[in-house]
Structure 1
Amino acid sequence: MFDSLAHPISYQNLIDYNAIKLDIKRLDLIHPQISGNKFYKLKCNLQHAKELGLDTIITFGGAFSNHIAATAYAAHYFGFKSIGIIRGEELAHQTLNPTLATACQFGMQLQFINRQEYRNKEQSDFIDKLRRHFPTAYIIPEGGTNALAIQGCKEILTAKDRQNYDVICCAVGTGGTITGLIEASDAHQTILGFSALKGDFLQQQVASLTHKMNWNILEDYCFGGYAKTSIQLLDFIQSFEKTYQIPLEPIYTGKMLFGVFELIEQGHFAANTRILVIHSGGLQGRQNLL
């Protein structure tokens, strides 16, 4: 189903610095619309929805959500209707930003709810009400993270990745991608996550999803929280793109790579460490904040 859409994934060397090898895995190239980690998160979920004979995909997200944009396209391509429940009822009275406009372009029906109600999106009463209103719908959580998403994200790390690298770095939003990487990793590897959000709840979330201990999530490079930026971060992204001709966005991948480069400069990694950073796509976010 999804695999027929996949474009080739490439690896690119970024630096060999103080005996540190740093490569990037370009998941952003896997598909122009179902980009990066969203490809892996959605593939098993939509396959399951198809097997169940359901005709509608319901999911959740904020105004800048990569998941909302990717789900809208994937649902459209594979013949599902889609509904996006969007955080912030005030957005219904504003001009749609590029993310939400793209979702609408691919047929997603947007339902804007207030932030208090949105906090209840995982409560059984909320979900039961959705199921009563949409009995033929398949519900995917915010960010796409569930057991099937984790199963899909395990495919990101290949046998060669396990052999060739000591540290795997990724951006973290809801914890699904990093959990898949952790579950697929070998014992000698460390999985290092860079949180795009403020708060230590992601550490607790991932700990509830895996029994492995070879991982950590850093909050130091969230730049104040989700979708927040700074001149320092934007300058880094501009310089990185000029040097390597690899596009980034400031919500996830830009923050992760800023953190990785700073840690290398600070001597955080031992000599001869082989590092792989995962470019998790989401480049539609560039339209909103760059």
Structure 2
Amino acid sequence: MSTTPPTTPRPRLPSPLQELRDERFSRHGVTLALKRDDLIHPDLPGNKYRKLFLNLDAAVAAGHKTLLTFGGAYSNHLRATAAAGRLLGMETVGVVRGDELAGRPLNPSLTQCAADGMRLHFVDRSAYRGKTDPEVLASLVRASGAENPYVIPEGGSNALAVRGCTALGEELRDRTDTAAVACGTGGTLAGMAAGLAPDQRALGIPVLKGGFLGPDIRALQERALGAPTANWHLDERFHFGGYARTPPELAAFANDFEDRHGLPVERVYVAKLLYALTALSEEGTFPPGTRVTAVITATEPATPAAQSSTSR
């Protein structure tokens, strides 16, 4: 990352690939490995580094002094952007969905954002939904008080983010047959799929319900690459009711996975991904001999936001 100050820890790339022994896969002739993107950078783990670094380079090159982005009350993306601003000496503004949150004590996620210097601007949900409209966006920027900010979309997913995530697929070439990742806004899957070899497949597990991600991912690939790739698909059965929903069945699975492998399992994204892959293996989706890789984008447990918060 060319904009990283010399005193900032350098990213660990390529991220480690860790094979696991798990009979729920091995008895079907399937090999499971974890792509430990959570270990890339202590402040910008996983897809946060991959999605942000080209955006940060662009912001610095254009002379911007402020980063402005969007998220819900428990947004990992907001936290990563705030940390990036601290590391680069840039101001950061987070437009937070939910004006009813203003004046309340900050939750741990927003507390960390504030500690890293992010100025939080709470907006009502109607205005937040319209943030991609140029006029609404301009109004939100004015209301935030930010001067000439570099605007990063919710979840960090834009053309630069997709290009940044192609390296993830490239790092997995010749090392897996199916690469799987949990999806919020779809930018990581869009880039990873583009970086894989033609004979490899990318699988996305949406953590939000709604069935909207497919068109969004194709649009992201068109903007970033000129055309969508044909080597990815989504399985939308494993959202467990929506973002940050962790029903007892999912919590029990995550606890069991931690006990089996001695690895912490982040509940909002990673638990749903690992649950999905385990279920697919038991269903016989993967032919014997298949190498499956789960991309681990975070390990620190996130505080559930019940029905709200944002995607990454």
* Structure 1 vs Structure 2 CA RMSD: 1.8
Partner AA of 1:261 in structure 2 = T
Report runs of 4+ in structure 1 exceeding 4 Å deviation: 130-133, 286-289
Report the Cα offset of residue 266 of structure 1: 1.3
Which residue of 7, 11, 16 corresponds with 1:10?
Answer: 16
Report the Cα offset of residue 249 of structure 1: 1.4
Aligned to 2:49: 39
- Whole-Å separation in 1 of the counterparts to 2:127 and 2:299: 26
Cα distance change, pair 69–284 in 1 and its aligned pair in 2 (3 A): farther
Which has the larger displacement, 183-192 or 37-46?
183-192
Deviations 1:98-124 (A, max 9, x none): 111110000000011111110011111
TM alignment of 1:193-232, pairs within 5 A: 193-210=204-221, 211-232=228-249
Aligned residues: 288
TM-score (norm 1): 0.94
Deviations 1:21-75 (A, max 9, x none): 1100111111222111001111000111000011000000001111000110011
TM alignment of 1:1-290, pairs within 5 A: 1=2, 5-7=10-12, 9-14=15-20, 15=22, 16-130=26-140, 134-159=146-171, 161-210=172-221, 211-281=228-298, 283=300, 285-286=302-303
SS in 2 for 1:42: helix
- Whole-Å separation in 2 of the counterparts to 1:288 and 1:134: 27
Gaps of 5+ in 2: 222-227, 307-312
Asked if the contact 1:66–1:282 (Cα under 8 Å) also holds between the matched residues in 2, the reply is: no
- Whole-Å separation in 1 of the counterparts to 2:133 and 2:304: 33
- Whole-Å separation in 1 of the counterparts to 2:27 and 2:100: 48
Partner AA of 1:7 in structure 2 = R
SS in 1 for 2:302: helix
SS in 2 for 1:168: strand
Gaps of 5+ in 1: none
Deviations 1:64-101 (A, max 9, x none): 11100011001111010000000011111322111111
Asked if the contact 1:41–1:144 (Cα under 8 Å) also holds between the matched residues in 2, the reply is: yes
